[in-house]
Amino acid sequence: MSGVFTSEGDAMADLAQSTVDAATDADGQVQARDEAGMRSRGFVGVVLLLVLIAMWLAGWYSGTDAQQMFSLTIWGVMLGGIIALGGIGLTLCYGVLKFPNFAHGELVTLGAYAAYSIVLVIPNSLPIWHFSFGWDLMAGLLVALFVTAGVSILLDRVLYRPLRHRQSPLVLLAMASLGMAFFLRGLIYIFWGSDFHFFYVGRANPALDLPLGLRLQADQLFVFALALVLVVLLYWLLTRTRIGKAMRATADNPDLAQVRGINTEQVIAWAWAIGSAMAAAGGVMYGLASQLRPDMGFTLLLPMFAAVIMGGIGNPWGALVGAIIIGIAIQLTSAFMSPAYGPAVAFVLMVLTLLMRPQGIFVQR
């Protein structure tokens, strides 16, 4: 009797195992089909390209001539450079700390105002080449990088590190960052007021005549070049230096990194410093392209998150590409709808990407 039960049990176990294997194979086939089809990087890229083309045609159909639409496209690339500077810092902090830092937008604002304070103190220098700014803004940018990095490390020591040591849930860290965003914005209101400010008042910023009838300000070229250089430097740091490898190890498995002798707290401090410095650079460039106001970083926060999620969290190149796509979309839609809807455009593109490829364009899993 027992032998019968044993035989039947073995048969049922084999059947169950076969069912599990079949289900696993089926899941694998579905996943492989999805990876090769609707969820592939190429498919998502084609869909996003078609969306941008549709926006381009909608702007042209609304009455904007082709030359102006081409200029909007190029300006979108420049706006993408600004979004990328903030977004790359955001993705770096998320990769190491594993929580969305909602105060990142205020770090963008703080960097811009720190540079503005230096420009006020230093006597205005003559413009460099065709730029609207001189060496005084370069000095302000340098100071802003260090000030914002120092403030972010201080905030980590005071707020985030105690929460980490208590093993607080990630949602609590995210809520703490949201509270810190309001606190920092309040300080900005107190120290610099609610009025708009400009780095330079009344200084000419002529456009350059480029091939194909394109007109661009030299400042816009500088913004995109700075974003590209900083992305290359960050990629080199993450892949070629000891601290970069320690960051990647900490991001993959903090406990294993500690066992291997990596000082994870030092790595986290570096992540805060680099991410905040990138945010400060983005804030200075955004203030140069438009004006300084206390909510400027908050306005950029949704496009930055959208760029990071679209490109793939933790991937700096993905953040750059996502930021350029969003920058172009925001500029193109301004041809047929109010520019105030720019953040909504970024949100729609982010949701569209998540529906097709939840891990982002440049992340495999």
- Residue 309: both structure tokens together: 């999620």
Q: For the chain, what is the largest distance between any 2 Cα atoms, rounded to a whole number of angstroms?
A: 99
Distance of alpha carbon 340 from alpha carbon 24, whole angstroms: 48
Residue 193 backbone class (left: φ over 0; alpha: ψ -120 to 50; beta: rest): left
pLDDT digits (tens, 9 = 90+) for 261-298: 888 888 899 999 999 999 999 999 999 888 899 989 88
Contact status, residue 247 vs residue 275, Cβ threshold 8 Å: no
- Residue 151: both structure tokens together: 């403030």
- Check pLDDT > 90 for residue 259: no
pLDDT digits (tens, 9 = 90+) for 340-357: 888 888 889 888 988 888
Contact status, residue 219 vs residue 143, Cβ threshold 8 Å: no
Mean pLDDT over 160-165 rounds to 89
- Check pLDDT > 50 for residue 15: no
pLDDT of residue 251: 80
- Residue 80: both structure tokens together: 């993408």
Q: Outline where 156-263 has alpha helix (H).
A: 161-165, 170-192, 218-240, 242-252, 254-259
How many beta carbons lie within 10 A of that of residue 254, not counting itself? 18
- Check pLDDT > 90 for residue 111: yes
Mean pLDDT over 89-110 rounds to 87
SS3 359: coil
pLDDT of residue 2: 41
For residue 174, report the phi and psi dihedrals to the nearest 5 degrees.
-65, -40
Mean pLDDT over 154-182 rounds to 90
- Mean pLDDT of all residues belonging to the chain: 83
- Check pLDDT > 50 for residue 16: no
Contact status, residue 316 vs residue 88, Cβ threshold 8 Å: yes
- Check pLDDT > 80 for residue 363: no
More confident residue, 191 or 314: 191
- Check pLDDT > 70 for residue 119: yes
Per-residue confidence band for 3, with pLDDT thresholds at 50, 70 and 90: very low
One-letter amino acid at 163 equals L
Return the sign of the alpha-carbon dihedral for residues 72, 73, 78, 82.
Answer: positive
- Check pLDDT > 90 for residue 181: yes
Per-residue confidence band for 113, with pLDDT thresholds at 50, 70 and 90: very high
Distance of alpha carbon 187 from alpha carbon 210, whole angstroms: 42
Bridge partners for 77 per DSSP: none
More confident residue, 246 or 112: 112
pLDDT digits (tens, 9 = 90+) for 17-61: 554 455 455 555 555 555 555 678 888 889 999 999 999 999 888
Distance of alpha carbon 76 from alpha carbon 331, whole angstroms: 5
- Check pLDDT > 70 for residue 321: yes
Mean pLDDT over 68-86 rounds to 86
Distance of alpha carbon 302 from alpha carbon 306, whole angstroms: 6
Q: DSSP letters of 64-93?
A: --HHHHHHHHHHHHHHHHHHHHHHHHHHHH
pLDDT of residue 357: 86
Q: What is the DSSP letter of 127?
A: P
* CA distances (Å), origin 337, targets 55, 62, 63, 291, 310: 11, 10, 12, 22, 23
How many beta carbons lie within 10 A of that of residue 82, not counting itself? 30
pLDDT of residue 36: 55
Q: What is the DSSP letter of 126?
A: P
- Per cent of the chain over pLDDT 90 is 24
Distance of alpha carbon 91 from alpha carbon 266, whole angstroms: 18
- Residue among 253, 238, 357, 315 at smallest CA distance from 84: 315
Distance of alpha carbon 48 from alpha carbon 225, whole angstroms: 24
